Amino acid sequence: MAFTETFLQSLTSVVPADRILTRAEDLVPYGFDGTAAIKQRPAAVVFPLTTDEVAACVRLAHEAKVPIVTRGSGTGLSGGSVPVPDALVLCLARMDRILEVDAENLTLRAQAGAVTLKIDEAAAAHGLLYPPDPGSMRISTIGGNVAENSGGLRGLKYGVTRDYVMALEVVLADGRVARFGSACVKDVAGYSMKDLFIGSEGTLGIITEVLLKLVPRPAARRTMLALFDSMEAAADTISAIIAAKIIPCTLEFLDRTTTACVEDYAKVGLPTDCEAVVLMETDGHPAAVADEAERMAAIALEHGAREVRTARDDAEATSLAAARRNAFSALARRRPTTILEDVTVPRNRLAEMVTFIAATAAHYNLQVGTFGHMGDGNLHPTFLTDERDEAEMARVHQALDAIVTKTLELGGTITGEHGVGLAKKPWLRQQMGDHSYELMKQVKAALDPEGLLNPGKIFD
């Protein structure tokens, strides 16, 4: 079977009809996520409000053999929530309640559709912090963050989403509900199944509820901009700061093209005449912050920074970080299509990688803007192109291939935080090696034998 009228009828017995969309005008906007040039209309979209409703939908889809694509806010950058033909999209955007902040145990429980920023705001109301802050945090859902194991601007010091997931509630492929993990700081009972679901991109189960770890909000922070006349000098500075055993919370990098686009939009006073801007932030105890900030500035100047500017106040610091969060979208100002990479290398290979990207773009005669979480070794070279120009697109693909090959040579990974989805699928086997790759497929087959959960994502 597949998606039929009968299936649709049965769906309305578990979710009211006004939460099921089937009209063309309703479906067209669910044909894509934040990824360029991938489009596929689903057969229907359903908005469950509870775990029970999710489970009921999944049971019906399982019986009818209808593929399910789970979606949060559709900001994914690897095509993860782009539907497959005849798919039912399970959109969790309305399961957005924050259920509890436990200020004694420093945890927060929320439905999977809760928006990342709202989670941090709820934590802040108790003097706490939820650290992972992806650029999309104003709209991305926590379910999407967990499913992609998203990183953010503070990843260097605080880690990524995985480091904050204590427990998950998951609806399995056949509609059973399972819980993994606990509210305990230590827990080694059985396999760490929750870790299997983190980063599973909607292919193993539907995450319906999360229990997150919070940390105390730091008492102080200092934000600085270091300006460089060469990208290599910026990369060297990053390596030197890390080698000096300083762990700042943020070391974000923008090249000249990206800086110009961001400034064009945000008008926060970024200099547009230097080759690289590094946004550096340290937070914690005021004395430690002052000390670290001073040492970071000194290291930057030693390694060729033209200038190091310090944000005047909290408001300026926040607006600088906000401007950086918009980097990817701002790059779209230049050309119609923006194709971004997510390559990540060991941090002492950064300078080499940055140089290679620039050379590759020049070789293929392409415009590229590079930015990224440099402290994590995670770069987002973004090709500014036009999907309608076939010749240019062919060169883009050649350039991407070259960058991926180089990344793997340097011991890096094809994706640091956006996931494999559809976009990175062709290179996964190459990176993982045959045995790991096959094992992963076995795991998928064990948890989703019918292959109905987000089919065709990560691997075929």
Partner 1 sequence: MAPPTLRTIDYAILQQCMHCGMCLPTCPTYDTTKHERNSPRGRIALMRAIADGDLEITKTFADEMSYCLGCLACQTACPAGVQYATLFETARADIERSGVNQNLKRDFWRSLTLKLLFQRPALLRAAGAALRLYQRSGLEGFVRRTGLTRLLPADLRRLEPQAPTISPRFSNRLIAPVETPKGEARFRVALLTGCVQDLAFAEVNRDTADVLLANGCIVETPPVQPCCGSLHAHNGETGLAQKLARQMIDLFPPTKYDAIISNAGGCGSHLRHYGPLLADDPNYHERARAWDAKLKDVHEWLAQIGVRAPEAAPFDQPTTITYHESCHLVHGQKVTRQPRELLRLLPGVTITELPEATWCCGSAGVYTITQPEQATLLQERKTRNILTTGATVVATANPGCHLQVARGLTAAGADIEVMHPMSLLARAYRREQRP
- Identify whether the C-beta of residue 40 lies closer than 8 Å to the C-beta of residue 84: yes
Rounded least distance, CB 266 to partner 1, Å: 8
Rounded least distance, CB 330 to partner 1, Å: 4
C-beta closer to ligand FAD: residue 47 or 364: 47
- Identify whether the C-beta of residue 415 lies closer than 8 Å to the C-beta of residue 30: no
C-beta closer to ligand FAD: residue 34 or 67: 34
Residues 406-445 that bind ligand FAD (CB under 6 A): 417-418
Contact stretch for ligand FAD (CB under 6 A) within 63-71, 271-279, 316-324, 424-432: 63-71
Give the angle subtended at the CA of 54 by the CAs of 48 and 59, to the nearest 5°: 135
Binding at 330: pick from partner 1, ligand FAD, none (beta carbon under 5-8 Å per type)? partner 1
Binding at 380: pick from partner 1, ligand FAD, none (beta carbon under 5-8 Å per type)? none
Using CA atoms, how far residue 198 sits from 11, 116, 144, 170, 460, in Å, is 28, 16, 10, 11, 20
- Identify whether the C-beta of residue 454 lies closer than 8 Å to the C-beta of residue 68: yes
* Per CB under 6 A, 458 contacts ligand FAD: no
Residues 299-338 that bind ligand FAD (CB under 6 A): 328-329
DSSP string, 249-290: SEEEEEEHHHHHHHHHHH-S---SSSSEEEEEEEEESHHHHH
C-beta closer to partner 1: residue 12 or 436: 12
**Residue among 3, 88, 114, 145 that touches ligand FAD (CB under 6 A):** 145
DSSP at 29: G
Q: How many CA atoms lie within 13 A of 15 on its CB side?
A: 26
Residue 356 CB contacts under 8 Å (≥ 6 apart), including other chains: 403, 406
Determine the length of the chain.
Answer: 460
**Residue among 330, 345, 353, 423 that touches partner 1 (CB under 8 A):** 330
Strand partners, 90: 46, 70
Binding at 152: pick from ligand FAD, partner 1, none (beta carbon under 5-8 Å per type)? ligand FAD
Task: Sheet with 44-46: list strands edge to edge.
Answer: 20-21, 44-46, 88-91, 68-71
DSSP at 98: E
* Per CB under 8 A, 26 contacts partner 1: yes
Rounded least distance, CB 387 to ligand FAD, Å: 17
Rounded least distance, CB 146 to ligand FAD, Å: 7
Contact stretch for partner 1 (CB under 8 A) within 133-141, 413-421, 428-436, 452-460: 133-141
**Residue among 98, 139, 358, 428 that touches partner 1 (CB under 8 A):** 139
Could you list the residues that contact ligand FAD (CB under 6 A)?
A: 33-34, 69-77, 80-81, 92, 112, 134-136, 140-141, 143-145, 147-148, 150-152, 201-202, 206-207, 328-329, 417-418, 454, 457
